Amino acid sequence: MAIRSILIAGDPRLTTHAAPVTEFDAELAEFVDDLFETNTAAHGAGLAANQVGDLRAAFVYDLRDGGVQYRGHVVNPVLETSTIPETMPDPEETEGCLSVPGERYPTGRAEWARVTGVDVEGNPVTVEGEGYLARCLQHECDHLAGHLYLDRLIGRNQRAAKKMIKANGWVGPGNSWLPGSDSNPFGW
């Protein structure tokens, strides 16, 4: 297993739609193990393949919500949700991203989500939840569709995020951070 560098906003691989996985082999299983190790080192709730520069449709999640630990992976995910709010989100409902290090913005998400797909061996997988788990599932599926959570921001939050991207110089490829080696941008 290996910890991989996490791409930062501005890299075109983060805005590229992931390709369906067709090879279910030992290399895929090792890659998913790397995603788990990288996510753990970064203290993340989830990590999508394209965040480490791999354009396969796969993500991992590892989070605690309501006293329950959720951990798993989904390959070739398909997302279903309840209604996604279109109004300004509650300022307390902030979201962060390992590819937007150190930043958090209020982000509107559906309260419920279900993801179906397969595991590294091609066996069917379904993950369903509300609250933080639902937010994570939506966030990771967005990554694989080529979207950062910043794309969901509206109003003053959207304007603030655009200024932040420009101020940080995250306007092109070449920016990344390595969990465990670089200081944690979230202060955890």
Binding site feature residues? 97, 139, 143
* Residues placed in the known binding site for Fe cation: 97, 139, 143
Per 3-state DSSP, the chain is made up of helix, strand and coil in percentages (nearest 5) of 30, 30, 40
> Is 140 an annotated catalytic residue?
yes
Contact 57, 35 (CB under 8 A): no
* Among 63, 67, 33, CA closest to 49: 33
Which residues fall within 8 angstroms of residue 66, CB to CB, at 6 or more apart?
Answer: 131, 132
Q: Which of 37, 95, 103, 140 is catalytic?
A: 140
Catalytic residues: 140
